[in-house]
Chains A and B, each alone.
Chain A
Amino acid sequence: MNFLQPDFAPAYPEIFLLLMVCVVLLADLAWGEEKPHLAYLLSQFALLGCVLITFATSAPGVVYTFSGMFVDDALADILKMMVYVTVSVVLVYSRTYISTRGMLNGEFFSLALFATLGMMVMISASHFLTLYLGLELLSLSLYAMVALRRDSVGATEAAIKFFVLGALASGFLLYGMSMIYGATGSLNIARVTEVIQTGAMSHTVLVVGVVFIVAGISFKLSAAPFHMWAPDVYEGASTAVVLFIGSAPKLAAFGFIMRLLAEGLGSMVADWQGMLIILAVMSMLIGNIAAIAQTNIKRMLAYSTISHMGFVLLGVLSGDGNGYSSSMFYVVVYVLMTLGTFGMIMLLSRAGFEADKLEDFKGLNRRNPWYAFIMLLLMFSMAGIPPTVGIYAKLSVLQAVLNAGYIWLAVVAVLLSLIGVFYYLRIVKLMYFDEPETDALILPQGDVKLLLSANGLAVLAFGFFPQALMAWCAYAIRHSSI
Chain B
Amino acid sequence: MLFGFPLLSLVIWLPILAGVGVLATGGDRNAQTARWIALAGAVAGFLVAIPLYTRFDPLTNAMQFVEYSPWIEHFNIHYHLGIDGIAMPLILLNCFTTPLVVIAGWQVISKRVSQYMGAFLIMSGIVNGVFSSLDAILFYIFWEASLIPMFLIVGVWGGPNRVYAAIKFFLYTLLGSLLMLVAFIYLYQVSGGSFSILDYHRLPLPLAPQILIFIAFLLAFAVKVPMWPVHTWLPDAHVEAPTGGSVVLAAILLKLGGYGFLRFSLPIVPDASHYLSDIMIALSLVAVVYIGFIALVQADMKKLIAYSSVSHMGFVTLGFFLFNAYGVEGAMVQMISHGFISGAMFLCVGVMYDRLHSRQIADYGGVANKMPVFAAFFMLFAMANSGLPGTSGFVGEFIVIMAAIKVNFWYGFFAGITLITGAAYTLWMYKRVVFGAVAHPSVEEMNDINGREILVLAILALAVLWMGLYPLPLMEVMHTTVDDLLAHVARSKL
Interface residues of A (CB under 8 A from B): 365, 369, 380, 385-387, 391-392, 395-396, 398-399, 402-403, 407, 410-411, 414-415, 417-418, 421-422, 425, 428-429, 432-433, 466-467, 470-471, 474
Are B162's CB and A422's CB within 8 A? no
Q: Which of B173-195 contact A (CB under 8 A)?
A: 174-175, 178-179, 181-182, 185-186, 188-189
Q: Which of B70-86 contact A (CB under 8 A)?
A: 71-75
When chains A and B are docked, how far (Å) is the Cα of A398 from the Cα of B137? Answer: 13
Given contacts A398-B181, A433-B155, contact A466 B163 (CB under 8 A): no
Are B144's CB and A399's CB within 8 A? no
CB distance from B253 to the nearest CB of A (A): 16
**B145 close to A (CB within 8 Å):** yes
Given contacts A386-B140, A391-B144, A471-B73, contact A414 B171 (CB under 8 A): no
Task: Provide a sorted-by-A list of 23 A–B residue pairs whose CB atoms are within 8 angstroms.
Answer: A385-B145, A385-B174, A386-B140, A386-B141, A386-B145, A395-B181, A398-B181, A398-B185, A399-B75, A402-B182, A403-B189, A411-B179, A414-B181, A418-B174, A418-B178, A422-B167, A425-B171, A428-B152, A429-B167, A432-B156, A433-B163, A466-B74, A474-B74
Q: Which one of B145, B147, B156, B188 contacts A399 once the chains associate, using CB atoms below 8 Å?
A: B188
Q: How many A-B residue pairs have CB under 8 A?
A: 92
Q: Which of B347-405 contact A (CB under 8 A)?
A: none
B140: A residues at CB distance < 8 A:
386, 391
Given contacts A391-B141, A415-B178, contact A421 B171 (CB under 8 A): yes
Given contacts A425-B170, A433-B163, contact A471 B74 (CB under 8 A): yes
When chains A and B are docked, how far (Å) is the Cα of A470 from the Cα of B174? Answer: 25
When C-beta atoms are compared, the residue in chain A nearest to B142 turns out to be A386
4 tightest CB-CB pairs across the interface, nearest first? A386-B141, A414-B178, A470-B74, A433-B155
Are A429's CB and B171's CB within 8 A? no
A410: B residues at CB distance < 8 A:
182, 185
Specify which of A395, A428, A432, A470 lies most central, judged by the most chain B CB atoms within 10 Å of its CB: A395
When chains A and B are docked, how far (Å) is the Cα of A395 from the Cα of B115? Answer: 30
Q: Which one of B73, B156, B182, B189 contacts A411 once the chains associate, using CB atoms below 8 Å?
A: B182
Instruction: Give 5 A-B pairs besides A425-B167, A432-B155 with Cβ atoms closer than 8 angstroms.
Output: A386-B141, A402-B189, A467-B71, A467-B73, A471-B74
Digit string of B151-167 for contact with A (CB within 8 Å is 1, else 0)?
Answer: 11001100000110011
A392: B residues at CB distance < 8 A:
72
When chains A and B are docked, how far (Å) is the Cα of A470 from the Cα of B148? Answer: 25
- Number of residues on chain B facing chain A (CB within 8 A): 37
Are A402's CB and B185's CB within 8 A? yes
A402: B residues at CB distance < 8 A:
182, 185-186, 189
Given contacts A385-B147, A387-B141, A433-B156, contact A395 B75 (CB under 8 A): yes
Given contacts A429-B167, A433-B163, contact A386 B75 (CB under 8 A): no
When C-beta atoms are compared, the residue in chain B nearest to A419 turns out to be B171
Are B171's CB and A385's CB within 8 A? no
Digit string of B257-277 for contact with A (CB within 8 Å is 1, else 0)?
Answer: 000000000000000000000
Are B156's CB and A417's CB within 8 A? no
When C-beta atoms are compared, the residue in chain B nearest to A474 turns out to be B74
When chains A and B are docked, how far (Å) is the Cα of A185 from the Cα of B345? Answer: 79
Digit string of B182-226 for contact with A (CB within 8 Å is 1, else 0)?
Answer: 100110110000000000000000000000000000000000000
Specify which of B27, B73, B148 lies most central, judged by the most chain A CB atoms within 10 Å of its CB: B148
When C-beta atoms are compared, the residue in chain A nearest to B146 turns out to be A386
Given contacts A422-B167, A433-B162, contact A414 B179 (CB under 8 A): yes
Q: Which of B87-106 contact A (CB under 8 A)?
A: none
When chains A and B are docked, how far (Å) is the Cα of A385 from the Cα of B146? Answer: 10
Specify which of A385, A396, A402, A410 lies most central, judged by the most chain B CB atoms within 10 Å of its CB: A385
When chains A and B are docked, how far (Å) is the Cα of A418 from the Cα of B179? Answer: 10
When chains A and B are docked, how far (Å) is the Cα of A474 from the Cα of B72? Answer: 13
When chains A and B are docked, how far (Å) is the Cα of A232 from the Cα of B142? Answer: 39
- Taking chain B's interface residues, is the majority helix, strand, or loop, or is none over half, making it mixed? helix
When C-beta atoms are compared, the residue in chain A nearest to B141 turns out to be A386
Are B148's CB and A380's CB within 8 A? yes
Q: Which of B104-163 contact A (CB under 8 A)?
A: 112, 115, 137, 140-142, 144-145, 147-148, 151-152, 155-156, 162-163
Q: Which one of A365, A432, A467 contacts B74 once the chains associate, using CB atoms below 8 Å?
A: A467
When chains A and B are docked, how far (Å) is the Cα of A425 from the Cα of B167? Answer: 7
When chains A and B are docked, how far (Å) is the Cα of A391 from the Cα of B142? Answer: 12
When C-beta atoms are compared, the residue in chain A nearest to B158 turns out to be A433
B186: A residues at CB distance < 8 A:
402, 407
A470: B residues at CB distance < 8 A:
72, 74-75
When C-beta atoms are compared, the residue in chain A nearest to B144 turns out to be A386
Are A385's CB and B178's CB within 8 A? no
Q: Which one of B115, B175, B188 contacts A369 once the chains associate, using CB atoms below 8 Å?
A: B115
Q: Which one of A369, A386, A398, A467 contacts B182 once the chains associate, using CB atoms below 8 Å?
A: A398
CB distance from A277 to the nearest CB of B (A): 17
When chains A and B are docked, how far (Å) is the Cα of A471 from the Cα of B71? Answer: 12
Are B182's CB and A414's CB within 8 A? yes
Specify which of B147, B171, B178 lies most central, judged by the most chain A CB atoms within 10 Å of its CB: B178
B145: A residues at CB distance < 8 A:
385-387
Q: Which one of A411, A418, A432, A467 contacts B152 once the chains associate, using CB atoms below 8 Å?
A: A432
Are B75's CB and A418's CB within 8 A? no
CB distance from A170 to the nearest CB of B (A): 36
CB distance from A191 to the nearest CB of B (A): 34
CB distance from A390 to the nearest CB of B (A): 11
CB distance from B299 to the nearest CB of A (A): 26
When C-beta atoms are compared, the residue in chain A nearest to B71 turns out to be A467
CB distance from B490 to the nearest CB of A (A): 29
When C-beta atoms are compared, the residue in chain A nearest to B77 turns out to be A467
When chains A and B are docked, how far (Å) is the Cα of A428 from the Cα of B148? Answer: 10
Q: Which one of A385, A395, A422 contacts B148 once the chains associate, using CB atoms below 8 Å?
A: A385
CB distance from B416 to the nearest CB of A (A): 39
A380: B residues at CB distance < 8 A:
148
Specify which of A369, A386, A399, A410 lies most central, judged by the most chain B CB atoms within 10 Å of its CB: A386
When chains A and B are docked, how far (Å) is the Cα of A433 from the Cα of B160? Answer: 11
When C-beta atoms are compared, the residue in chain B nearest to A471 turns out to be B74
Specify which of B147, B171, B174 lies most central, judged by the most chain A CB atoms within 10 Å of its CB: B174
Are B137's CB and A421's CB within 8 A? no
B141: A residues at CB distance < 8 A:
386-387, 391
B179: A residues at CB distance < 8 A:
411, 414
When chains A and B are docked, how far (Å) is the Cα of A380 from the Cα of B148? Answer: 9
When chains A and B are docked, how far (Å) is the Cα of A457 from the Cα of B167? Answer: 25
When C-beta atoms are compared, the residue in chain B nearest to A386 turns out to be B141
When C-beta atoms are compared, the residue in chain A nearest to B147 turns out to be A385
B171: A residues at CB distance < 8 A:
418, 421-422, 425
CB distance from A315 to the nearest CB of B (A): 13
B156: A residues at CB distance < 8 A:
365, 432-433
Given contacts A429-B163, A433-B162, A471-B73, contact A421 B174 (CB under 8 A): yes
Are B72's CB and A467's CB within 8 A? yes
A407: B residues at CB distance < 8 A:
182, 186
Q: Which of B26-40 contact A (CB under 8 A)?
A: 26-27
A395: B residues at CB distance < 8 A:
75, 137, 181, 185
CB distance from A417 to the nearest CB of B (A): 7
B189: A residues at CB distance < 8 A:
399, 402-403
A474: B residues at CB distance < 8 A:
74
B137: A residues at CB distance < 8 A:
395
Are A396's CB and B182's CB within 8 A? no
When chains A and B are docked, how far (Å) is the Cα of A417 from the Cα of B189? Answer: 22
B188: A residues at CB distance < 8 A:
399
When chains A and B are docked, how far (Å) is the Cα of A432 from the Cα of B155? Answer: 8
When chains A and B are docked, how far (Å) is the Cα of A411 from the Cα of B212? Answer: 12
When chains A and B are docked, how far (Å) is the Cα of A428 from the Cα of B140? Answer: 22
B75: A residues at CB distance < 8 A:
395-396, 399, 470
When chains A and B are docked, how far (Å) is the Cα of A143 from the Cα of B169? Answer: 44
Are A433's CB and B166's CB within 8 A? yes
CB distance from B181 to the nearest CB of A (A): 7
When chains A and B are docked, how far (Å) is the Cα of A432 from the Cα of B112? Answer: 11
B152: A residues at CB distance < 8 A:
428, 432
When C-beta atoms are compared, the residue in chain B nearest to A380 turns out to be B148
